[in-house]
Amino acid sequence: MAGHSFACYCGELFAGAPAVKHISRCEQRNEKSRLRQLCTEMRSSDPHALIFELIAEIQTSCNEHLSEEKITNLLEEGAKHHGRFVNRQDDPPDPSPLLPAVQGIEKGQTCDVCGIEKTGCMVLECGHITCEVHYGALLSETKCHFQSCSHQLTLKEAEKLSESLGVPKSEATEDSLICGLCGQSKYMSEMLFLDCMHNLCRSHILAVFEAQYMDSSSVQCPMPDCQYMLSSPEIEAIVGVERLAEIDTALAVKLVRELSSVTLINCVKCGFSAALERGKIDFNYKDAGGLKVGEEAAVYMSKHRFRCPSCAATQCATCGTAPYHDAYTCESYQLASSKPKCRYCKKPVDGQCSDADCQSRSNLQCMKTLPCGHGCFGVKEESECPACLQCAGSESENCLICHTEELGAAPCVQLACGHVLHKHCLMSVLERKWGGPRVTFKFAKCPACNAWIEGKGQEEVTALVKTYIALHDLVQEKAIKRLEFEKEDKLPRLEVPSDPYYHQPLKYAMDRFCYYQCFKCQAPYFGGKRDCQLVEDERQFDPAELVCAKCVSYMGGQTDCPKHGEDYTQYKCRFCCDLAVWFCWGTTHFCEPCHNIWEQRRDSPKEELPQCPGLPLCPLQVVHPANGEEFAMGCAACREELASQPHEF
């Protein structure tokens, strides 16, 4: 190895083992460069004839002129290894062996590289034979030279070659590295340098490859806490391109065999494809009617029911029925399908269904036949039948109110906006109204498009909703007046373009103020601001407690102004001798301090509340009931008008 000088693509010259380490790591290395080609030719033939071409190439690459001394040294290095000197360039080469045989080197063998039978040949672990002429090249390349052999020299082979060449052991092994896993010194050819900056010997990384690649087609660096996944070139460097191709082919064949036993199902609802997986047998499973399925149907369902992982719809993997026929096998389902079925529960029947709910729905069902030949899905005695759900393909869609039953499972109402709802679901919502203490109107609007509900051919529904629209208009009128009275109609936020209430004072008033429906007179009345309502909505309420000031029999003081009515009546705090500024839950007036401790005040008995000192010490300067009861102080609007008038003194 010491007899050769090597040139890297960067222009650096080396003699001996350092050349291998430098060339393998140099950033300017180029495997196809002329310098590498010339070095290879020097190793496989007489380098003496190529030395001057090599020097000229080095000069060109380095863009510098080599000194005469440097050229002479380079010539001497090349000549020494071949038994020559610079001044004997024309002498024929000496055919005699240049190096003595060493232990472990075979004699009288034919070199696989040059094809000449020579003594002093060495048998590598890959089985190829090389003569001593190629020892230096072997040690520098650290790999077998025979055609496409990929064998890398082991450290033991490198030591034998360096011993035969007379290279000191320390110089021959200075390019060895420490394996990051086992901690042993390995020759560079036995190492793999990963992009994660870990150096591992090939024996370890090969074991990792065998353990991981066959399962995941990937290899992770085995160093602790390293998440790096080896790149394709790094994996090819472990086993070779040809071997890796064989492994990938075997994996592909294995995958095809596995997939051949998998049943792929296409969801009839969303089109998503997924593998059919066998489920557990559930003998307690109940069908849509709440009845347990039979043992045969339960076993069959575990093998044939497919649930789409994308939309969660179920279907039969064999016959494609969707949703899956819970209580039947495919054969029994086909038999049952041929029999007449109940229009609502879909169960086979002989005559009329015995289910009480189905009979109730049948009594409300329109029995007309539509021009298309299908039965009407509307309600009995309607003035206009809705469009055919079966022709529109919406019979199996769920009702937008209950979300649990298909539209075809009950008589339906088609709204003026075109959406279809169950009649019994719609009437339940309209009769329940807003559901809480505060009056809202979302219930009277279509759940799909938010338009006011208007039943097509349903005068009963339309008339009921009209009463809610009238109530809505009255609340809007009161809310906008309250906004002006509270002096919030000029709020700066109403002029901010980015604010949700920009130029929408009516919307702000409807969201800001709470109105309740009096239990006695059914009129809406102001019940405070929405801040408190958010808390009160979480509590149960008694509708009988929601009574306006006009209808409160126990209310003391003046509650009804001849000019402004009861909407602007001012009250004292229910719990102390101060004016109320809060009206919460439609029942209770608070001053600011009491409102801050509303839970304590609300739950305290009357005897524990602050006691009125009586006249002339009472801050209100009026005679009123004991604290704990509501009391009206008169019309605040009249007081406001009086205060704004000029006074004569």
Please tell me the distance from the alpha carbon of residue 31 to that of residue 77, in angstroms, as a whole number: 24
More confident call, 234 vs 17: 234
Q: What is the pLDDT of residue 558?
A: 59
Active site residue 226: no
356-400 tens-digit pLDDT = 888 888 888 998 999 998 889 999 888 888 889 888 888 888 999
CA 2 to each of CA 25, 161, 168, 454: distance values in angstroms, whole numbers, following the listed order:
20, 11, 9, 101
Q: State the average pLDDT over residues 305-324.
A: 90
Instruction: Give the count of beta carbons closer than 10 Å to the beta carbon of residue 345.
Output: 15
Q: What is the pLDDT of residue 108?
A: 66
Q: What is the pLDDT of residue 166?
A: 63
Q: What is the pLDDT of residue 649?
A: 32
Catalytic residue, chosen from 316, 532, 548, 576, is 532
Name residue 561's beta-bridge partners.
565
How is residue 18 written in tokens? 């350092």
Q: State the average pLDDT over residues 191-209.
A: 82
User: Which of 1.10.3470, 3.30.750, 3.30.40, 3.30.70 is the CATH number of 185-259?
Assistant: 3.30.40
Q: State the average pLDDT over residues 228-246.
A: 86
Q: What are the structural domain ranges in the chain?
A: 5-176, 185-259, 554-649
**What's the pLDDT band for 445 if we cut at 50, 70, 90?**
very high
Which residues, including other chains, have CB under 8 Å from residue 318's CB and lie 6 or more apart? 304, 330
Cβ atoms of 549 and 569 closer than 8 Å: yes
554-575 tens-digit pLDDT = 455 555 677 766 667 778 899 9
More confident call, 24 vs 99: 24
Inform me whether the pLDDT recorded for 422 exceeds 80.
yes
Q: What is the pLDDT of residue 13?
A: 53
Omega before 323 within 30 of 0, i.e. cis:
yes
Average pLDDT, the chain: 75
Active site residue 584: yes
Catalytic residue, chosen from 518, 584, 591, 635, is 584
Q: What is the pLDDT of residue 517?
A: 86
- Residues of the chain above pLDDT 90, percent: 14
